[in-house]
Structure 1
Amino acid sequence: METQKLWTKSFISVALSNFFAFVAFYYLLVIFPVYAITEYKTSETIAGLFVTVFILSAIIIRPIAGRWINTLGKRKVLMMSLLLFFIGSLLYTFIESVTGLLILRFFHGIGFGMITTIMGAIVADIIPEKRRGEGMGYYALTMNLAMVIGPFLGLTAIQNWGMNTTFLISVIFSFLALLIGINLLFEQKGMTNAKSEKEVGSFKIGDLFEGSAVRISLVAAFFAVTHASILSFVSVYAAEIGLVKAGSYFFVVYAVVLLISRPFTGKWYDRYGENAIIYPSLLLFAVGLFLLSSADSAFLFLLSAAFIGLGWGTTFPSLQTIAIAQSPPHKRGLATATFLSIFDLGIAFGSFAVGVIGAAYGFGLLYLVNSFYVFIGIAVYYVLHGKISALLRKKEANSIIE
């Protein structure tokens, strides 16, 4: 039987465009609090708003963008999102007030929210059905790599160059995302798929969310609380335990492990199903958090990064693949929007909650508690999806035997 081709020109284009957009996102994510505090003498609370406002606008726009994909078509939504994101990057050097920057961050977040929605919808159409787990794994890898490269470049730029140069670099990343995205427009000739409002039906609030994706999205949001503790505070924890140098390599190890494991985990997902991948991955995630909580050396600290990278880095794309696979083909954009919006709500809540808990009781105890929290999450996954998936797989196996 002929293997369906995954690494097409279109798949590579959407993955690269998504990668550069996420590099720009993470790049700005780390420099903005520093920029606000040093240039505008704001408090840490106000500095944090630059992140919150951006994520909030992305969450708000995603369900709307999911509907636009049905009414306007993928081509127009892709072009609009990339242009908005690029224009937002261009405007940072022209704004000279905190209020103006907050408004711009909200505007820029709209472009980013639309990009993440439309890219997810396009890549879901491009990936062959029988290689969806593998393809979505590689696609998610672009975000994981950006999570390493973006902050590293951002901190390097803000420490060594002026703000004009620092913002120019983000413009370059946004332009690359736009340029490759435009190329994708010409590659994907059948990307219009637009329907009139009459064809789609009268508007209802329920049209902003894909119901079939909600259950697995709630599972992702549950784990997002723990993931937020890694994203937001692992560097703070590294300083707290005297492992600052090791802290700078945490996400590098995280990404390297993902690169090595990705060719296998995606194929195993397609061959053995989601449960066979997600349960072991969550156990690895829990082990990684436990090691992190007790790390007293650089070796243990970075070993925890490897376990967390393999565990969570495999779980997240698997959950997103489930959300897309369960939705009708014409609602994949809306399913992607639903998944990411609910997941980001978990990140937003988690960043606040773990910050309060970590400050009160210490991050070592926080990560220890989180390792047990993951086991509760395994039960949540079983109830909301794993049990159903196992029954369906057993039914399919019986029908083949008969």
Structure 2
Amino acid sequence: MTTSTASLWTKNFILFTISNTFLFSGFHIFLPTLPVYVLHQGGTSTDVGLLSAIFVFCAILVRFFTNNGIKKWGKKYYLYIGCILCFVAAISYILATTVPRLLSLRVVHGLGFGIATTLYAAIVIDLIPKSRRGEGIGYFGLGTTLAMAIAPGLGVWIVDNFSFTSLFIVATLSQILALLCLSLCSIPDDRSIQAETQEKISLIDKLVEKELLFQAYLALLFGICIGGVLNFIALLAQEAHIANAGAFFLMCTVCIFLSRLITGRIFDKKGPAWVLFPGTILFLLGFVVLAQSKSMTSFLIASSLYGLGYGTIFPAVQAWMFNLVSPAKRSAASATFYNMIDIGNGVGSIVLGILAGKLGYASIYWCSAIIMGIFFLSYTWFVIQQKCAAANNLDDIEAKG
């Protein structure tokens, strides 16, 4: 089968992408609303911080046991477990009338989300033709982008016009639809195969697949920079006296969508360097412009650059990691990718937050630009090393010939 005729838009791929979109919608709808709910229930700003920290910690923790879960249940049924945990958390928020109950449910939600995100990414690779992997990952990620664009605003609208109970009902329906679409997919039961291929893995290897150390390092740097935008962009807008910070995310989402329509095909035809180099430059420039933004115009230009860079780098690094491992290690590769993104996000939120307290919020984005500069230089060094190694191998072959 040729690259041009390899079938990407199968029933399974479409349903699986829709299912992932609904799962992420049930996550993003809570990002701007649960902190408000915590305060509404008598919580403090510290409790709001714990809300995010507990969720991220549990998502990372459960990925240490990804191989154990797959070995016991297989990818298909382990994914069901993750989605069911997300459903249980969403519907149980209705009963979380105290902060301790809410925080305990974030444990359940974090565990379910950690399992589900890892397995969605690992399974969808099996549904995408190898010749169209970059393109397929890009399209698959559009569902997440759509959820990120619509769900937070929808959540705020529901709370403002109805109630928190209505919010939890909508989030629960989103998880039900994710499960329904998943149940309609024809995913083989691979428990027997996984049981034969699984090996004993060290604690470090559960955090980072050893074949992907450099790619994990790049994902960590990328995650740190993401944390700075997600957590502090509204505060930067206030500091710079820019109204309507939400416009940043709207423009950003449009640009992420556009970039993913194009860069996946380039990745498949040319390789990761052809998208990572321009993507990194755009991402870096986005932070430079953002750090100097004093008007809505510059704010939106920064958003466009950030969105184009984000939409290029995220799926490219993810697809690159999947291409470097055997099918048996795709779940480990997926766990590595999301672990590094989440750890970077968490570390970035803390370190950059401290920096902002001392130097102002613009300093966060100057620091992020420097980090992406390190990303660019590191990847440049990697590509040069790869080319030198390939040239040496060619010389050895010619010498022997």
TM-score, normalization: structure 2? Answer: 0.92
Q: Answer whether contact 2:225 2:348 (CA < 8 A) is retained.
A: yes
Report the CA distance between 1:198 and its aligned residue. 6.6
Q: In structure 1, what is the equivalent of residue 30 of structure 2?
A: 28
Report the CA distance between 1:312 and its aligned residue. 1.8
Partner of 1:296, secondary structure, is: coil
Report the CA distance between 1:317 and its aligned residue. 1.0
The whole-number CA distance in structure 2 between the counterparts of 1:309 and 1:337 is 24
TM-score, normalization: structure 1? Answer: 0.92
The whole-number CA distance in structure 2 between the counterparts of 1:174 and 1:396 is 51
Q: Which runs of 5+ in 1 are unaligned?
A: none
1:237 and 2:236 aligned: yes
1:222 and 2:221 aligned: yes
**1:331-389 deviations in whole A, cap 9, x for unaligned?**
10111011111221111100111111112211123212322331112122334x43455
Letter in 1 for 2:284: A
Letter in 2 for 1:31: T
The whole-number CA distance in structure 2 between the counterparts of 1:380 and 1:192 is 38
Q: Answer whether contact 1:63 1:334 (CA < 8 A) is retained.
A: no
The whole-number CA distance in structure 2 between the counterparts of 1:59 and 1:103 is 16
Q: Which moved more, 1:14-23 or 1:389-398?
A: 389-398
Q: In structure 2, what is the equivalent of residue 45 of structure 1?
A: 46
Report the CA distance between 1:311 and its aligned residue. 0.8
Q: In structure 2, what is the equivalent of residue 274 of structure 1?
A: 272
The whole-number CA distance in structure 1 between the counterparts of 2:260 and 2:194 is 40
- Give the 3 Å change call, closer, same or farther, for CA 11–64 of structure 1 in structure 2: same
Q: Answer whether contact 2:256 2:310 (CA < 8 A) is retained.
A: no
Report the CA distance between 1:277 and its aligned residue. 0.8
- Give the 3 Å change call, closer, same or farther, for CA 15–397 of structure 1 in structure 2: farther
Instruction: Supply the RMSD in Å over aligned alpha carbons.
Output: 2.4
Partner of 1:28, secondary structure, is: coil
Letter in 2 for 1:115: A
Q: In structure 1, what is the equivalent of residue 118 of structure 2?
A: 117
The whole-number CA distance in structure 2 between the counterparts of 1:364 and 1:231 is 14
Partner of 1:317, secondary structure, is: helix
The whole-number CA distance in structure 1 between the counterparts of 2:67 and 2:79 is 11
Q: Which runs of 5+ in 2 are unaligned?
A: none
Report the CA distance between 1:124 and its aligned residue. 0.9
Q: In structure 1, what is the equivalent of residue 134 of structure 2?
A: 133
The whole-number CA distance in structure 2 between the counterparts of 1:215 and 1:67 is 25
Q: Answer whether contact 2:258 2:308 (CA < 8 A) is retained.
A: no
1:355 aligned residue (334, 353, 356):
353
* Number of aligned residue pairs: 395
Partner of 2:144, secondary structure, is: helix
Q: Answer whether contact 2:134 2:316 (CA < 8 A) is retained.
A: yes
Q: Answer whether contact 2:70 2:194 (CA < 8 A) is retained.
A: no
Percent sequence identity is 30
Which segments of structure 1 move beyond 6 Å, counting only runs of 4 or more? 392-399
- Give the 3 Å change call, closer, same or farther, for CA 63–322 of structure 1 in structure 2: farther
**Residues 312-391 of structure 1: matches in 2 within 5 Å?**
312-383=310-381, 385-390=382-387
Q: In structure 1, what is the equivalent of residue 108 of structure 2?
A: 107
Q: Answer whether contact 1:275 1:390 (CA < 8 A) is retained.
A: no
1:69 and 2:70 aligned: yes
- Give the 3 Å change call, closer, same or farther, for CA 196–381 of structure 1 in structure 2: closer
1:19 aligned residue (13, 18, 21):
21
The whole-number CA distance in structure 2 between the counterparts of 1:262 and 1:49 is 33
The whole-number CA distance in structure 2 between the counterparts of 1:89 and 1:394 is 55
Q: Answer whether contact 1:71 1:195 (CA < 8 A) is retained.
A: no
Q: In structure 2, what is the equivalent of residue 96 of structure 1?
A: 97
- Give the 3 Å change call, closer, same or farther, for CA 153–393 of structure 1 in structure 2: farther
Report the CA distance between 1:269 and its aligned residue. 0.8
